[in-house]
Copies of this chain bind each other. A is one copy, B any other.
């Protein structure tokens, strides 16, 4: 998603283009590591020393409502935000919480078939595969 397309989309819905909003969007939409709101907040504080966590949350929810972001809730820790909204698997370690992505054409095809069988109109999906990562297996 390039920045001009984003700006257009925000304007269409009547949202203002503020420097904070742009910075938050750019940061999260280009991230590969499923950051938490707090991680985004801390990074942006360097550029915007007065930015508040509430603004970060609000902007992330805006992106979520626009369908550009997936919010991943977890039992014991903060929500994490994923800008990749096409079908992919999160390979998550049950111990350390590390997330890796698995995304192939074959997977997308398989998933599309499954969704077609179910016969619903999909908006978005979340596919988590829980494992113990190599590191955690060793240290145990």
Contact = CB atoms under 8 A, between A and B. Distances in A.
Interface of A: 71-76, 79, 89, 91, 94, 102, 104, 106-107, 110, 113-115, 117-118, 120-132
A40 to B, nearest CB: 15
B123 A125 contact: no
Contacts of A91: 118, 120
Contact of A114 (B107, B128, B130): B107
A127 B130 contact: no
Contact of A129 (B71, B110, B125, B129): B125
Overall SS of chain A's interface: mixed
Contact of A130 (B113, B118, B124): B124
Contacts of A73: 73-76
Contact of A89 (B74, B104, B114, B124): B114
Contact of A110 (B110, B122, B125): B110
A79 B74 CA distance: 8
B126 A131 contact: no
Nearest to A71: B75
Contacts of A122: 129-131
Contacts of A115: 129
14 contacts: A71-B75, A73-B73, A89-B114, A94-B123, A107-B114, A107-B117, A115-B129, A120-B131, A121-B131, A121-B132, A125-B127, A126-B126, A126-B128, A127-B127
